[in-house]
Structure 1
């Protein structure tokens, strides 16, 4: 635990360089942050946290065998207090609409007993050794750091109390802190936080065991839902800086012509017409095309110009000869048939309980079905963008990135620079959904700057670039078979999941899903089943597979929750009641005992699968939707529940299907139990967003390939849900559980997986037609 005024000076000074996200809100000056070198600047190391909470804090890095290596953990949080009392909280996670800057600050402010109007936030650049892990994914920012932020705020408050007590010559036990004011009741003396900031900064950070946390009943900000986005004014007035907004003096602009097929390479090119375009400065070749690609560029030809338009026209004028490489024949229609064939044969067994074959042979009834989910693109509203300046052996980048440390490391590798000569500044992100955790676009920007003698270069991906050259959610075929007894309940359950793995971008074609993919709703299926066998057939990858919001939970939840509704119909049962019976009584399941060796990186003793909590969210969603009520012809209710990112969620959807087969989603009830609710306002917002995104997966979104090429170009082909299709009613049910000493769950991703199966089940209720492939599109128009 250290006192680091130099760090706070760097953080406050960083935004004055062109481009990074403004660290200070409109009503707080940068000068006020520092208040001179005498300001209190506290850097609280939190490395003594429970390893069980942080051991998986870095996403897997894969070795030659395709398996994850170990993780590092050294999370830190920083608090600065200026002479005028301004509290500056350093945010080490990327803000992309989920409100993490606000949530981190409010946790610190509550334990610090700070006046919220005097709290501001600065954004950490990418430096894991200083700030701890910064990869913003896996729905874990507060899950892993909530207690650490509380402790940091409480420790800072204690140091202020000690400084005030020393100044007054009284015992620290007689000094209290509340709303930015230190008080000695006996003498009726008071001091503001800024009055003792300098003195407090000279004190040693108190030992962890000497710091007391607040009684939760005294929380002022945590759990109240009263705090809006700390940078909402800047965002809504256009003052906030996103990756696309970054500007540096003398900046050039670049676009890249990339291979249309994954693994393709440039054979030759003619740039004579490009060089005639007014404003074009230089044309360079970017090496790439290796498989596996990891996070490095695909390769291609970059056009660097004085403005974006010139770069666009210059790229259009290029004449390039391509070698399409090994994936030139990739066709998703044909590949689907390959996956179906694989799913109909035995595959690698990933969970085996009882004797499925014997139980299936004796079953009274057998039911089987196959489900298909296509490739998906993250398609954030702000496509990938970065600015880089590589000059005099130093690289500095500004990027809308979910993984600044990952970007830092790839820049080091590609530019052959030492760690201290590379810096990645994090801007706000106009959406991410996993795409911006892969920093290939940051490396492209740096290579372009290097090619023009260090001039800063802004590299932008167009929407077509984003759709054609991204990291796609995997394509999947899920085959399920069940044998039912005379009461209509499964005595045998077989599930085969065939899908290319994310591991294929790290190692040569592993062909089997990795443990963390299998642990996303497949091997940890929490049903009370006597005989279960889960298999993972081989599936090759022909495109870059990448993280997508909720990842493999999407195909697994769609298939399983749809199949449960099919079983209910087959035996004449209510689908909600049948689902609850299948889940069984309330109990806590150790995920490792049913084949999940990952468990979202968490200690299974702290984070078991709790079927009681799963039951409660299903009941909450059903009750909110008025389950069982009579509906007009053409309308139906559907329900689905799911466990992901150590959180339990459920969705009940009411849909209408008209005579032309068009689906309208009228209302959605979504229930979530994520344990203690730190920022309820943000939880509601995330669930509302998950509903709309899940609707897109259910109704319209699909990426298909032919001759190795993505067939969609922009939002006219890759359709996301438009505002007129959004439900008129979305009810979010926050189901409480646990206490503030218990574990927190994730929030950003768990709302997505149950949406599509709930809609598909509602379509069946309305029409009697079963949806087994996504998106629905015009399947019901016949």
Structure 2
């Protein structure tokens, strides 16, 4: 191993114990400067996020996608002073993945947590494996690899100590950063044998013995805070917007207000009069499908952000609004609802729905609507990029560093090995920052000004006007009930523009991964089910949004179940449990879901027993069945997403003017083994608040192709004073540490809105069938 003492000293100076370094970690630093010992494992990932999401993955005997192996790759380093540095390959946007990755490794390594730090991997999937931080899969896919990495490092340290003492390795133990030989009463620290351990071959995977979970120090304990919490709370942590480089310029872009629009001409006379403006130039764009490339427009580069803003305001631009100039969400909603009430592409067909519907004693029909949404992370998209001397280096708050790397290569025409993407902390993401158009914009600005580093920032208005929106959807449901009020026939039509529209020209149907988000995998014990997907065109950029298509599907289905329960004169909880049926494991591929969130259906079946359990747990936590005062109600919803089962029970109060206040929420989650309970609780609390926003206030509307909301005064997210004073998170534990893990980041959101809507009905007798609720109840 390269052992660069000078670089090690520099790194130590920048990164004191347990203070992770994010910015300016060079490849050479990782390879050589971290210290005497580097353990390598491969974390090779699956296909890129944007490619082949509708294709069923292939799996090996270990249940992991083919292509994953334990070839040498940089992952763990131990310095001569014993300090352990873990390389984290996934983006941290508040979910705490840097902490969770570090303590999984540290636990198997038997490391002293006070001597553990983290560095962030740059974008390189060949080295680090899949780096797309989406789909709630960071720990789900890599937990066992992290364990093996830590355990292999521990074994190599044991072997090095045994060799130094000339004793059998079987007689040496490792515990809390100390190696010991009981017979001779000798001990030695990790750092003292790190150099010798580095010379040993990485042990074969089958020779590495993982710890007995009973001896875990950190995994599953929930007693470790965020590893970089001090830096975050004291303002030392580096986010995309914080990045600074010597000689840096600043840029903003005037983009077409309508998706597919183009610049016809522009006059920058007044812009050039603004003090500090350096360069004004046109960025090509307007292509449909847009993929992850820029929309186009006119860029203003200046010596400071204020000058760039004022310069952009002074531009006079003539636009061609293009094919989506007439997009109006009110009119489009009418189109979607019409489509959802007519036969569409059949995506699941079980039994004879028409025959059973005709013979049903009672028939119920309902239509539900969910508007466009925008991710609106606290930190808008931002990147610093320098294109100079035939190379490009970027610093960005990105969820997809490899995607950013590949788009930079494409846009700049540079060799892949001449482009590097460094990942900063993210001030939120929710799917927006998996699309690196803003990184490419910054690169084009740097190239245009002759190679100076350029920080390109999206304002909040930019973020709301030009983002990748959550799809708009119309959901039509019908059910035929028997004499006991239970469905004998179930019809659901879901009409929504697809994310596939940013990759392919004019697709009309949702892709299998969207259909597999709570639609085709509806786990109800109904003998006759038909699910359809009518055509729907896209008129804006549709992209990933936390929980994606689970949001409209869960809202419609769980609301409709509550309506059926009321029609049958049944308790909503009991009715939902009866509809789910007895505990059983369903292979999702047998009911039309070829995707199953990218997981092996044998390892990850839909488990109705687990779904029942979280519903009962959430309801029990809320005191389901208790008598409430006038104007208050309890609502319930459950959902399966990202191979995790969740349920929410919400208590609301509706005032005489129709205002809705969420009093308390109980959320139950069964994600299998719980690696970091503290972070699971935090993510569920965040999911509740975000789900409340979707239920009560948030929506994006379009007129003449233009987003009508500008900032948080129009696109309302839930404020602190609206958050419920009580959120009870119930962690329902299942599975073993050798078994599969579920997702956590996204599954908490889908059941929140239907639980609130059902609670509103319980309080008022009025149904909520469209989101957000806003002032619907004041009429």
- TM-score, L = length of structure 1: 0.95
Deviations 1:639-659 (A, max 9, x none): 000000000000000000000
Verify the 8 A CA contact 1:67 1:514 in the aligned structure 2.
no
2-structure distance, mates of 1:474, 1:742: 34
Q: 1:414 to 1:400 in 2, by over 3 A?
A: same
Q: Does 1:420 align with 2:410?
A: no
Q: 1:8 to 1:311 in 2, by over 3 A?
A: farther
- Number of corresponding residues: 766
2-structure distance, mates of 1:34, 1:86: 15
- Specify the SS of the correspondent of 2:162: helix
Counterpart residue number, 2:402: 405
2-structure distance, mates of 1:610, 1:289: 45
Counterpart residue number, 2:595: 598
Q: Does 1:93 align with 2:93?
A: no
Q: 1:143 to 1:261 in 2, by over 3 A?
A: same
Q: Match for 1:334 among 294, 317, 331?
A: 331
Counterpart residue number, 2:347: 350
2-structure distance, mates of 1:126, 1:442: 13
Q: Extract structure 1 runs of 4+ deviating beyond 3 A.
A: 4-18, 21-26, 30-38, 66-77
Stretches of structure 2 lacking an aligned partner (at least 5 in a row): 59-64
2-structure distance, mates of 1:733, 1:247: 42
Q: 1:431 to 1:500 in 2, by over 3 A?
A: same
Q: Match for 1:778 among 757, 764, 775?
A: 775
2-structure distance, mates of 1:542, 1:199: 61
Counterpart residue number, 1:59: 49
Q: Does 1:465 align with 2:455?
A: no
Q: 1:38 to 1:685 in 2, by over 3 A?
A: closer
Q: 1:331 to 1:573 in 2, by over 3 A?
A: same
Deviations 1:123-167 (A, max 9, x none): 000011111111000000000000000000000000000000000
2-structure distance, mates of 1:488, 1:597: 32
Equivalent residues in 2 for 1:193-212, closer than 5 Å: 193-212=190-209
Verify the 8 A CA contact 1:501 1:514 in the aligned structure 2.
yes
2-structure distance, mates of 1:227, 1:664: 33
Deviations 1:693-728 (A, max 9, x none): 000000000000000000000000000000000000
Q: 1:35 to 1:74 in 2, by over 3 A?
A: closer
Q: Does 1:257 align with 2:254?
A: yes
Q: Does 1:379 align with 2:379?
A: no
Q: Match for 1:767 among 764, 768, 778?
A: 764
Q: 1:109 to 1:69 in 2, by over 3 A?
A: closer
Deviations 1:358-414 (A, max 9, x none): 000000000000000000000000000000000010000000000000000000000
1-structure distance, mates of 2:496, 2:4: 46
2-structure distance, mates of 1:10, 1:518: 51
Equivalent residues in 2 for 1:654-693, closer than 5 Å: 654-693=651-690
Deviations 1:18-37 (A, max 9, x none): 9xx984499x9x99999978
- Specify the SS of the correspondent of 2:117: strand
Verify the 8 A CA contact 1:74 1:129 in the aligned structure 2.
no
2-structure distance, mates of 1:655, 1:217: 41
Counterpart residue number, 2:548: 551
Q: Match for 1:370 among 367, 370, 393?
A: 367
- Specify the SS of the correspondent of 2:399: coil
Stretches of structure 1 lacking an aligned partner (at least 5 in a row): 48-53
**Structure 1 residue 282 displacement after superposition:** 0.5
**Structure 1 residue 59 displacement after superposition:** 2.2
Q: Does 1:325 align with 2:315?
A: no
Verify the 8 A CA contact 2:8 2:33 in the aligned structure 1.
no
Counterpart residue number, 1:51: none
Counterpart residue number, 2:503: 506
Counterpart residue number, 1:653: 650
Counterpart residue number, 1:700: 697
2-structure distance, mates of 1:12, 1:517: 49
Q: Does 1:518 align with 2:515?
A: yes
**Structure 1 residue 434 displacement after superposition:** 0.1
Counterpart residue number, 1:39: 36
Counterpart residue number, 2:581: 584
Verify the 8 A CA contact 1:703 1:718 in the aligned structure 2.
yes
2-structure distance, mates of 1:703, 1:40: 52
Counterpart residue number, 1:214: 211
2-structure distance, mates of 1:245, 1:159: 39
**Structure 1 residue 15 displacement after superposition:** 11
2-structure distance, mates of 1:375, 1:743: 34
2-structure distance, mates of 1:69, 1:243: 33
Q: Does 1:158 align with 2:155?
A: yes
Deviations 1:391-441 (A, max 9, x none): 010000000000000000000000000011000000000000000000000
Q: 1:286 to 1:12 in 2, by over 3 A?
A: farther
Deviations 1:26-80 (A, max 9, x none): 9x9x999999786111212256xxxxxx6x56424159xx979999844756000
Q: Does 1:133 align with 2:130?
A: yes
Q: Match for 2:427 among 427, 430, 437?
A: 430
**Structure 1 residue 235 displacement after superposition:** 0.2
Q: Does 1:307 align with 2:304?
A: yes
Q: 1:195 to 1:35 in 2, by over 3 A?
A: farther
Q: 1:448 to 1:17 in 2, by over 3 A?
A: farther
Verify the 8 A CA contact 2:346 2:533 in the aligned structure 1.
yes
Counterpart residue number, 2:287: 290
Verify the 8 A CA contact 2:14 2:21 in the aligned structure 1.
no
Counterpart residue number, 1:480: 477
Verify the 8 A CA contact 1:73 1:133 in the aligned structure 2.
no
- Specify the SS of the correspondent of 2:776: coil
- Specify the SS of the correspondent of 1:780: helix
**Structure 1 residue 9 displacement after superposition:** 10
- TM-score, L = length of structure 2: 0.95
Counterpart residue number, 1:50: none
Q: 1:8 to 1:437 in 2, by over 3 A?
A: farther
Q: Match for 2:449 among 448, 452, 455?
A: 452
Q: 1:739 to 1:625 in 2, by over 3 A?
A: same
Q: 1:655 to 1:225 in 2, by over 3 A?
A: same
Deviations 1:529-575 (A, max 9, x none): 10000000000000000000000000000000000000000111000
Deviations 1:622-681 (A, max 9, x none): 000000000000000000000000000000000000000000000000000000000000
Counterpart residue number, 2:79: 82
**Structure 1 residue 17 displacement after superposition:** 11
2-structure distance, mates of 1:321, 1:466: 22
